[in-house]
């Protein structure tokens, strides 16, 4: 319903030429916006040793446990400053794997001496010590639906199913032919888990099968398996090994669904990340696979569309990744002891809101004073009122904000426009104004009319920018014209001579560069021709 | 057959009496537009040549505002009288001389003598004397004559003035004076009070040193203003006092008073004084007094409407209209006026504020690009499915014009610049291409360098989501072929691919990337896909075959055929004498038509299966189009100069021909000769204008559209012999009129009607009160009349009243 009066003509401010946009739409899609909203305020870099394992507690407040060297540090990730709240250091060797129990009260940790310890998270005292592996243990996991058992695997190629209370091995599963490096328990079934090994094979075990050496299903990843996880549905498994992450359908008999190969080096760790959990409830949750590799990249893979939706680079090889169950914290551990813990801002707002609700009783709403005609604000009342749905809006015509040079161009004061834009330090705008002046057939007249100071300004600009490839087609020609037109004035002034010397120097340099480039072209073009002939 | 694309600005328009309609002369017809919506409501069809004047019969009283009668005059030598509310022809007066202008003074002055119906209506017409010899160099071909409209005859023997060519007659708004311009002279006649055929009209002349372009009369006073070619406006006050008053039979003692002080008045001219205003840098095209006589509106080539206050000479401006102004027309509604611009647009202005309310835009007229790029410029482009033509406009844009509906659809501003008429053109949109489905457009613009610096070629890709042709910019590519100019742009019919060929010796194919976002396909932009060249020869034309499998690029005189997907040269055919200008595939068939211009023009048909020439003609070809049948095509050929000169009379000014060919036979199947073929375009439109119009028996196979050099067009069925004229289908139908208030009611609202009857009944209802004295003393004491006066009234009220019923 807004009728704008038709204008006879519009005002077109001079615009610099557009720059080509990067092909990858970085930071543009809502997806990448979401993933880059995990802000790493300061990376934690005092760990000094590599971080091979990270674990988030499944129960709030979702403590983060990080293993580094022979220590496990516990973090409360929602604090503003990130520093270990507690450390557990009752290990004799390097800690290799961590796992919280489903209620978050116990933490299992394995180390390279072959020992598995179960700690109480509150008191951090070792409650049980499980020793049976003869070689370093590489992974330990609590089942999702079971609080009594543990799964572990190690360099002795054995997978063990423990009864934690009795510190005893319930079943020992032999089947892998190389180091067992990883494993995960099914979120759907308490008795099933998968393990991955350096023999390229991922096996699905069921503890109810008495024959302890035969796996229920097995798939071949094709390279040493570094990490394996169940996807939340329980029917799909993602495996990481070599440069690829593969998704397998276990119910469909171990069929490979997709192979994501966008890492350049070995993928070391994968986990499931969620998107949009808070905003739109359960239906809006979108699941992604987050993978990190030795190439320093974290990739976000949307396995419903089979597409990498975001990619992020870190300055070190990455070893482990964790994503908090409330999808507010993402932690990445590197090989040089830096822990990147990214937190989302939204969480703090939500917390603030919660605090507000809690503190409602104490905080009094400021009493609004009744406006009287004697107040100054009385006359401004209602001016900031927002229009409601059905209101008829009378729009004020938008005022076009014009830069100084645009105003001058509108008044046909071409020389002043050129001087005004030369005074600023945006070469793109200067070139745009010059192009507009060319279109008005006024540039050379402007150059003729410039006085000595402004001519110096123009020569300085030409010296700085005439060899920039984006502008050179216009500016080199202009520089020549300027010298031709104002030869007498330049001869008369020493300052202007200085500018000309500078200009000459930059042109000489440019000529040298061009010669060098031509030499290279001469070398490359025969090669290209030979390559093209094949 | 559909004709359209007429100029809306060939002569001044006229407002109807209620100012709700605007009558515009459009070629042979007068179109009636609604001023509230700007859409066409109907047309008056009957004249067979250009209509030059339209005069609405003014209403004698406000009640008569709904009367819709008008007089029109045309070059076909007839004056017609219409009722334009129903479009109905009521009367025809045939004068047998082409009428260039007509005024009817009695219409304007008839208010006071409405009783005298008997008097005849006379019109003064400016006609061309076709009997005067053309060969005679000094022949006076223009005549101002008188015509009795009531008796339908030319007033015998009355020729007021003879001029070299017919001049435009201007009349004062009171109908008292009229006049014409003749070079540096201004002739003014006074209309006699009692009109008859033989009455002698008095004339005065006013002189100037420059050629006049336009003049106007003051509505009430004896002031006349005239504009000249240098942009000066001259104002004579008190003209004709001497001459005209003499005729009124008054004292003429002062008439021979030569030594009277007459500042500014030249020689013996009959005026009190003359003053000059000068603002316009170019000639003044329109000059009108406001209806109250306090202001003058003037406009000229620079596209600025200037409002002068007559008493003080102060100016107000409506700048940046963007095109030379031709006419300014005031309407009976004081808040509405119209200006006609040279770019075939009529703007309706909201008056005191001079805001543009609506624009009625016709087809854009052709303009001549600067010499340097005129060879690069392509003509108009057709969207063959939608029946839309895309034309270059002078203000760096593209206009989309519906050929079926004969109205403009939209305009796209290609370069973000304002066009100032009269300035040197330095930026030109040279090339234009539309994809087959009409959803993509590609434009090439060239910025001309100033003394070899700052030139730029820019390729732009546009997209529109819907059929309404509102394009948005998708990709800008600066210098697509370094600094060399682009000779052709074409889209691939089947895929999102385009090709540009350049005189720099290479061609590039461009593809559009897609990305699916939120379930819908988003175009991410166009990128270069491949580059090709042939012996470094300039590429002069490029096109894709209908199925998109072959790309043909003309490398000067030969045609190179490429596989567009793999960018491999497939074959080379042909050898023309001069560079090939146009290439076109014939539908799905394996034939290609090439046309070259220059000193040895040639039209050739090549067979792709045999890679050889079938046949060729030596003809100047303007346009080639493939007809619906795959093996037939039509070309627009310019007739050789010699032929047109020798047979000039026989052809009747026709300088071109549309030839329809079958590929297999070099003999044309059909020939239509046309006017103004140079700069014309030809296309075969697959759609049909409207279902209703074409349900008469046959199914339409499509229409051939010919747009001539003046952008007038005609659509016809090339397969049918009958030249049946179909009126332009106004799909919009008649525009419903809104009743709009103006004048007093627009400010204060409708006056309430006084209902006298009700007042009378109300009086009757009032019954005498029981105690009339009770109200007698109410009120404060100081307002009461003195007691002595009240006493009698009081006593009277105490008396018992006899009711009227008893009587």
For residue B472, give the CATH number of its domain: 2.130.10.10
Question: A324 with A271: CB under 8 angstroms?
Answer: no
Phi-psi region of B142 (alpha: psi -120 to 50; beta: other; left: phi over 0): beta
Please name the member of B357, B424, B447 whose beta carbon is closest to the beta carbon of A6: B357
Architecture of domain A404-533 in CATH?
Answer: Alpha Horseshoe (1.25)
Residues of B in Cβ contact (< 8 Å) with A305: none
Q: Is B195 exposed, middle or buried (0-12, 13-18, 19+ CB in 10 A)?
A: middle
Are residues B671 and B638 located together in one domain of the fold? Answer: no
Can you tell me the distance from the alpha carbon of B421 to that of B45, in angstroms, rounded to the nearest whole number? 34
pLDDT at residue A367 greater than cutoff 60 = yes
Say if the Cβ atoms of B356 and A12 lie within 8 Å: no
Residues of B in Cβ contact (< 8 Å) with A15: 416
At residue B718, the pLDDT reads 77
Q: Which residue of A has its CA nearest to B447?
A: A439
Q: How many beta carbons lie within 10 A of that of residue A183, not counting itself?
A: 28
Q: Write out the residue range of the structural domain in which residue B717 sits.
A: 645-652+663-807
**Surface of A (417-436) touching B: CB under 8 A:** 434-435
At residue B698, the pLDDT reads 45
Q: Does A477 touch chain B (CB under 8 A)?
A: yes
Are residues B607 and B550 located together in one domain of the fold? Answer: yes
Q: Does A482 touch chain B (CB under 8 A)?
A: no
Q: Does A8 touch chain B (CB under 8 A)?
A: yes
pLDDT band at residue B761 under the 50/70/90 scheme: very low
Question: B554 with B593: CB under 8 angstroms?
Answer: no
Q: Which residue of B has its CA nearest to A474?
A: B454
pLDDT at residue B520 greater than cutoff 70 = no
pLDDT (tens digit, 9 = 90+) per residue, A486-513? 899 888 888 899 999 999 999 999 999 9
Please name the member of A12, A21, A438 whose beta carbon is closest to the beta carbon of B453: A438
Residues 6+ apart with CB under 8 A from B728: B2, B3, B4, B404, B405, B406
Range among A24-38, A154-168, B124-138 with highest mean pLDDT value: A154-168
**Nearest-CA distance from B346 to chain A in Å?**
12
At residue A292, the pLDDT reads 92
**Nearest-CA distance from A417 to chain B in Å?**
17
Q: How many beta carbons lie within 10 A of that of residue A134, not counting itself?
A: 11
Q: In a mutagenesis test of the A interface, which of B450, B511, B517 is the best target, namely the one with the most A β-carbons within 10 Å? A: B450
Can you tell me the distance from the alpha carbon of A183 to that of A171, in angstroms, rounded to the nearest whole number? 16
Are residues B554 and B682 located together in one domain of the fold? Answer: no
Say if the Cβ atoms of A438 and B356 lie within 8 Å: no
Are residues B707 and B637 located together in one domain of the fold? Answer: no
User: Does residue B695 lie in a domain region?
Assistant: yes
pLDDT at residue B679 greater than cutoff 70 = yes
Say if the Cβ atoms of A9 and B452 lie within 8 Å: no
Residues of B in Cβ contact (< 8 Å) with A478: 453-454
Higher-confidence residue of B782 and B733: namely B782
Would the CATH topology of A39-343 be identical to that of A404-533? no
CATH superfamily of A39-343: YVTN repeat-like/Quinoprotein amine dehydrogenase (2.130.10.10)
Q: How many beta carbons lie within 10 A of that of residue B345, not counting itself?
A: 19
Please name the member of A8, A18, A434 whose beta carbon is closest to the beta carbon of B320: A8
Are residues B639 and B669 located together in one domain of the fold? Answer: no
User: Does residue B597 lie in a domain region?
Assistant: yes
Say if the Cβ atoms of B450 and A444 lie within 8 Å: yes
At residue B687, the pLDDT reads 67
Please name the member of A5, A10, A441 whose beta carbon is closest to the beta carbon of B424: A441
pLDDT at residue A358 greater than cutoff 70 = no
Question: B29 with B44: CB under 8 angstroms?
Answer: yes
pLDDT band at residue A526 under the 50/70/90 scheme: very high
The per-residue pLDDT of chain B, averaged, comes to 79
pLDDT at residue A220 greater than cutoff 50 = yes
Interface of B with A (CB under 8 A): 318-322, 347, 355-359, 416-418, 423-424, 426-427, 447, 449-454, 456, 476, 478-479, 483, 515, 517, 525
Q: Does A131 touch chain B (CB under 8 A)?
A: no
Question: A136 with A122: CB under 8 angstroms?
Answer: no
Are residues B523 and B563 located together in one domain of the fold? Answer: yes
pLDDT band at residue B764 under the 50/70/90 scheme: very low
**Nearest-CA distance from B778 to chain A in Å?**
40
Q: Write out the DSSP string of B301-357.
A: TT--EEEEETTT--EEEE----S-EEEEEE-SSTTEEEEEETTTEEEEEETTTTEEE
Report the run of H or E that residue B774 belongs to, with start and end.
none
Say if the Cβ atoms of A478 and B318 lie within 8 Å: no
**Surface of A (24-63) touching B: CB under 8 A:** 25, 29
Are residues B615 and B739 located together in one domain of the fold? Answer: no
Question: B655 with B673: CB under 8 angstroms?
Answer: no
**CA dist B218 → A493, B208, B225 (Å):** 63, 19, 8
Can you tell me the distance from the alpha carbon of A130 to that of A203, in angstroms, rounded to the nearest whole number? 23
Can you tell me the distance from the alpha carbon of B622 to that of B606, in angstroms, rounded to the nearest whole number? 19
pLDDT at residue A347 greater than cutoff 50 = no
Residues of B in Cβ contact (< 8 Å) with A432: none
- Which residue among B636, B662, B688 closes a domain? B662
At residue B648, the pLDDT reads 47
pLDDT (tens digit, 9 = 90+) per residue, A254-302? 888 888 888 889 999 999 988 865 554 555 678 889 999 999 899 999 8
Higher-confidence residue of B550 and B192: namely B550
pLDDT (tens digit, 9 = 90+) per residue, B395-406? 888 888 888 888
When mean pLDDT is compared across A517-526, B135-144, B282-291, B578-587, the lowest value belongs to B135-144
Are residues B545 and B691 located together in one domain of the fold? Answer: no
Please name the member of B347, B426, B483 whose beta carbon is closest to the beta carbon of A439: B426
Angle at B104 between CA B98 and CA B109, to 5 degrees: 175
At residue A9, the pLDDT reads 62
pLDDT (tens digit, 9 = 90+) per residue, A454-474? 899 999 999 998 888 888 888
pLDDT at residue A356 greater than cutoff 90 = no
Place of tokens 């993928």: A267
**Which residues on adjacent β-strands are paired with residue B478?**
B458
pLDDT band at residue A213 under the 50/70/90 scheme: confident
pLDDT band at residue B253 under the 50/70/90 scheme: very low
Say if the Cβ atoms of B453 and A443 lie within 8 Å: yes
pLDDT band at residue B425 under the 50/70/90 scheme: confident
Higher-confidence residue of B246 and B314: namely B314
Are residues B486 and B405 located together in one domain of the fold? Answer: yes
User: Does residue B286 lie in a domain region?
Assistant: no
Indicate the DSSP class of residue A18.
P
Q: Which residue of B has its CA nearest to A476?
A: B453
Say if the Cβ atoms of B417 and A12 lie within 8 Å: yes
Supply B32's token pair.
Answer: 């009636």
When mean pLDDT is compared across A267-271, B335-339, B369-373, B495-499, the lowest value belongs to B369-373
Give me the number of domains chain B comprises: 2
Residues of B in Cβ contact (< 8 Å) with A443: 450, 453-454
Q: Which residue of B has its CA nearest to A435?
A: B454
Please name the member of A6, A21, A481 whose beta carbon is closest to the beta carbon of B453: A481
pLDDT at residue A248 greater than cutoff 70 = yes
Residues of B in Cβ contact (< 8 Å) with A32: none
Are residues B699 and B657 located together in one domain of the fold? Answer: no
pLDDT at residue B90 greater than cutoff 80 = yes
Q: How many beta carbons lie within 10 A of that of residue A138, not counting itself?
A: 26
- Which residue among B662, B696, B727 closes a domain? B662
pLDDT at residue B736 greater than cutoff 80 = no
Question: B377 with B358: CB under 8 angstroms?
Answer: no
**Nearest-CA distance from A505 to chain B in Å?**
22
In chain B, % of residues over pLDDT 70: 80
Q: Does A523 touch chain B (CB under 8 A)?
A: no
Residues 6+ apart with CB under 8 A from A457: A419, A422, A423
Nearest to B725 by CA among B46, B87, B264, B11: B46
At residue B115, the pLDDT reads 45
Can you tell me the distance from the alpha carbon of B409 to that of B489, in angstroms, rounded to the nearest whole number? 23
**Nearest-CA distance from B614 to chain A in Å?**
37
pLDDT at residue B11 greater than cutoff 50 = yes
Mean pLDDT of the region B142-162 = 77
Say if the Cβ atoms of A15 and B449 lie within 8 Å: no
User: Does residue B360 lie in a domain region?
Assistant: no
Are residues B599 and B680 located together in one domain of the fold? Answer: no
Residues of B in Cβ contact (< 8 Å) with A440: 423, 426
pLDDT (tens digit, 9 = 90+) per residue, A142-174? 988 888 889 999 898 889 898 888 888 888 888
Q: Does A444 touch chain B (CB under 8 A)?
A: yes
User: Does residue B446 lie in a domain region?
Assistant: yes
Residues of A in Cβ contact (< 8 Å) with B355: 5-6
Phi-psi region of B556 (alpha: psi -120 to 50; beta: other; left: phi over 0): left
pLDDT (tens digit, 9 = 90+) per residue, B642-662? 554 555 444 555 678 888 888
Q: Does A440 touch chain B (CB under 8 A)?
A: yes
Q: Does A400 touch chain B (CB under 8 A)?
A: no
Q: Where are the domains of chain A?
A: 39-343, 404-533
**Nearest-CA distance from B451 to chain A in Å?**
9
Can you tell me the distance from the alpha carbon of B277 to that of B298, in angstroms, rounded to the nearest whole number? 11
Are residues B669 and B638 located together in one domain of the fold? Answer: no
pLDDT (tens digit, 9 = 90+) per residue, B579-633? 888 888 887 778 888 888 878 888 888 888 888 888 888 888 888 888 767 788 8
pLDDT at residue A56 greater than cutoff 70 = yes
Say if the Cβ atoms of B454 and A12 lie within 8 Å: no
Q: In a mutagenesis test of the A interface, which of B350, B419, B452, B453 is the best target, namely the one with the most A β-carbons within 10 Å? A: B453
Q: Does A6 touch chain B (CB under 8 A)?
A: yes
The interface predicted TM-score (ipTM) is: 0.78
Please name the member of A6, A438, A439 whose beta carbon is closest to the beta carbon of B359: A6
Please name the member of A12, A21, A434 whose beta carbon is closest to the beta carbon of B418: A12
């Amino acid at each position: 319903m807004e009728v704008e009066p038709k204008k006879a003509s519009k005002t077109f401010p001079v615009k610099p030429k557009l720059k080509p946009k990067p092909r990858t739409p970085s930071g543009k899609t809502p997806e990448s916006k979401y993933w880059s909203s995990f802000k790493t305020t300061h990376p934690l870099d005092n760990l000094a040793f590599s971080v091979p394992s990270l674990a988030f507690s499944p129960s709030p407040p979702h403590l983060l446990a990080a293993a580094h060297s022979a220590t496990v540090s516990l973090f409360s990730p929602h604090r503003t400053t990130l520093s270990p709240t507690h450390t557990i250091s009752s290990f004799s060797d390097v800690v290799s794997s961590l796992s919280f129990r489903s209620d978050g009260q116990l933490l299992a940790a394995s180390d390279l001496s072959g020992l598995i310890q179960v700690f109480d998270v509150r008191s951090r005292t070792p409650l049980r010590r499980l020793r049976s592996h003869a070689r370093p243990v590489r992974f330990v996991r609590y089942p999702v639906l079971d609080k009594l058992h543990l799964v572990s695997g190690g360099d002795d190629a054995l997978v063990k199913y423990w009864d934690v209370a009795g510190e005893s091995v319930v079943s020992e599963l032999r089947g892998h032919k190389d180091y067992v490096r990883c494993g995960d328990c099914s979120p759907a079934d308490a008795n099933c888990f998968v393990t991955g090994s350096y023999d390229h094979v991922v096996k699905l075990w069921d503890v109810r099968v008495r024959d302890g050496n035969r796996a229920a299903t097995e798939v071949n990843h094709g390279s040493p398996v570094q990490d394996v996880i169940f996807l939340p549905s329980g029917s799909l498994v993602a495996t990481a090994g070599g440069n690829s992450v593969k998704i397998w359908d276990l119910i469909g008999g171990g069929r490979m669904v997709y192979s994501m190969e966008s890492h350049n080096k070995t993928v070391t760790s994968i986990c499931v990340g969620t998107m949009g959990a808070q905003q739109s409830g359960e239906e809006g949750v979108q699941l992604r696979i987050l993978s990190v590799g030795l190439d320093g990249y974290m990739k976000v893979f949307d396995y419903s569309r089979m597409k990498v939706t975001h990619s992020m680079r870190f300055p070190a090889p990455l070893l482990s990744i964790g994503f908090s169950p409330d999808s507010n914290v993402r932690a990445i551990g590197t090989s040089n002891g830096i822990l990147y813990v990214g937190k989302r801002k939204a969480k703090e707002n939500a917390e603030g809101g919660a605090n507000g609700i809690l503190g409602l009783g104490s905080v009094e709403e400021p009493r609004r004073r009744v406006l009287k005609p004697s107040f100054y604000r009385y006359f401004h009342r209602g001016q900031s009122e927002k229009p409601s749905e059905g209101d008829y809006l009378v729009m004020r015509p938008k005022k076009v904000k014009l830069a100084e040079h645009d105003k001058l161009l509108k008044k046909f004061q071409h020389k002043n426009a050129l001087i005004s834009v030369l005074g600023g330090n945006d070469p793109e705008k200067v070139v745009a104004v010059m192009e507009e002046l060319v279109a008005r057939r006024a540039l050379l007249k402007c150059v003729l009319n410039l006085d000595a100071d402004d001519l110096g300004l123009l020569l300085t600009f030409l010296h700085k920018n005439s060899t920039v490839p984006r502008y050179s087609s216009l500016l080199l020609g202009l520089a020549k014209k300027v010298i031709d037109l104002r030869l007498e004035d330049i001869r008369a002034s020493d300052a202007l001579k200085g500018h000309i010397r500078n200009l000459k120097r930059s042109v000489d340099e440019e000529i040298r560069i061009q010669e060098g480039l031509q030499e290279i072209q001469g070398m490359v073009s025969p090669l290209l021709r030979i390559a093209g002939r094949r | 057959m559909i004709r359209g694309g007429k100029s809306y600005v060939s002569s001044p328009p006229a407002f109807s009496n209620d100012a709700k309609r605007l009558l515009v002369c459009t070629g042979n017809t007068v179109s009636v537009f609604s001023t509230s919506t700007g859409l066409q409501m109907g047309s008056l069809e009957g004249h067979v040549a250009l209509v030059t004047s339209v005069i609405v019969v003014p209403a004698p009283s406000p009640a008569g505002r709904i009367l819709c009668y008008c007089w029109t005059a045309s070059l076909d030598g007839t004056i017609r009288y219409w009722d334009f509310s129903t479009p109905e022809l009521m009367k025809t007066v045939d004068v047998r001389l082409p009428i260039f202008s007509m005024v009817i003074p009695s219409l304007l002055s008839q208010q006071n003598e409405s009783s005298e119906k008997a008097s005849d209506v006379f019109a003064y017409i400016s006609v061309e004397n076709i009997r005067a010899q053309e060969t005679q160099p000094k022949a006076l071909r223009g005549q101002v004559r008188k015509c009795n409209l009531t008796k339908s005859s030319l007033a015998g023997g009355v020729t007021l003035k003879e001029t070299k060519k017919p001049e435009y007659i201007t009349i004062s708004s009171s109908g008292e004076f009229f006049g014409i311009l003749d070079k540096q002279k201004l002739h003014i006649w006074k209309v006699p009070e009692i009109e008859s055929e033989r009455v002698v009209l008095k004339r005065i002349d006013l002189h100037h040193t420059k050629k006049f372009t336009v003049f106007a009369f003051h509505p009430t006073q004896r002031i006349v203003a005239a504009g000249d070619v240098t942009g000066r406006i001259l104002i004579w006050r008190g003209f004709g006092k001497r001459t005209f008053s003499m005729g009124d039979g008054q004292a003429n003692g002062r008439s021979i008073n030569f030594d009277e002080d007459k500042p500014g008045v030249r020689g013996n001219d009959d005026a009190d004084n003359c003053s000059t205003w000068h603002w316009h840098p170019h000639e003044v095209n329109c000059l009108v007094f406001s209806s109250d006589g306090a202001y003058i509106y003037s406009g000229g080539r620079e596209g600025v409407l200037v409002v002068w206050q007559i008493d003080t000479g102060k100016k107000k401006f409506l700048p940046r209209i963007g095109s030379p102004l031709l006419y300014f027309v005031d309407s009976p509604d004081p808040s509405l006026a119209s200006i006609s611009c040279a770019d075939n647009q009529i703007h309706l202005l909201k008056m005191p504020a001079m805001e543009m309310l609506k624009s009625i835009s016709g087809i854009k007229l052709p303009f001549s690009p600067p010499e340097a790029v005129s060879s690069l410029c392509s003509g108009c482009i057709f969207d063959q499915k939608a029946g839309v033509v895309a034309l270059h406009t002078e203000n760096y844009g593209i206009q989309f014009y519906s050929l079926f509906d004969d109205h403009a659809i939209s305009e796209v501003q290609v370069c973000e610049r304002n066009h100032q008429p009269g300035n040197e053109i330095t930026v030109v949109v040279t090339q234009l291409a539309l994809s087959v489905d009409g959803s993509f457009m590609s434009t090439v613009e060239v910025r001309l360098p100033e003394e070899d610096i700052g030139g730029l070629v820019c390729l732009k890709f546009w997209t529109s989501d819907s059929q309404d042709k509102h394009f948005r910019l998708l990709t800008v590519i600066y210098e697509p072929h370094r600094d060399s100019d682009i000779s052709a742009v074409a889209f691939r019919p089947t895929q999102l691919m385009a090709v540009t060929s350049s005189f720099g010796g290479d061609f590039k194919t461009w593809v559009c990337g897609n990305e699916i976002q939120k379930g819908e396909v988003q175009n991410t932009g166009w990128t270069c896909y491949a580059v090709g060249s042939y012996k470094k020869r300039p590429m002069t034309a490029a096109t894709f075959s209908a199925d998109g499998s072959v790309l043909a690029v003309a490398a000067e005189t030969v045609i190179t055929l490429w596989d567009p997907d793999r960018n491999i040269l497939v074959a080379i055919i042909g050898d023309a004498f001069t560079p090939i200008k146009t290439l076109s595939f014939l539908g799905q068939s394996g034939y290609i038509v090439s046309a070259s211009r220059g000193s040895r023009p040639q039209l050739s048909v090549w067979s792709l299966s045999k890679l050889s020439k079938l046949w060729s003609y030596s003809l100047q070809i303007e346009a080639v189009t493939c007809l619906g049948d795959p093996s037939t095509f039509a070309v627009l050929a310019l007739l050789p100069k010699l032929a047109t000169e020798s047979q000039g009379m026989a052809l009747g000014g026709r300088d071109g021909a549309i030839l329809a060919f079958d590929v297999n036979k070099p003999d044309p199947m059909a020939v239509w000769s046309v006017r103004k073929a140079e700069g014309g375009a030809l296309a075969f439109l697959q759609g049909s204008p409207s279902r209703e119009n074409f349900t008469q028996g046959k199914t339409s196979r499509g229409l051939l559209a010919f747009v001539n050099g003046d952008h007038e067009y005609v659509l016809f069925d090339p397969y049918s012999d009958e030249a049946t004229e179909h009126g332009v289908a106004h799909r919009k139908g008649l525009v419903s009129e809104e009743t709009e208030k103006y004048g007093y009611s627009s400010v204060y609202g409708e006056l309430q009607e006084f209902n006298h009857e009700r007042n009378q009944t109300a009086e009757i209802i009032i019954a005498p009160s029981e105690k009339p004295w009770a109200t007698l003393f109410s009120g404060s004491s100081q307002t009461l009349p003195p007691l002595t006066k009240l006493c009698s009234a009081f006593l009277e009220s105490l008396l018992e009243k006899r009711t009227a019923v008893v009587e």
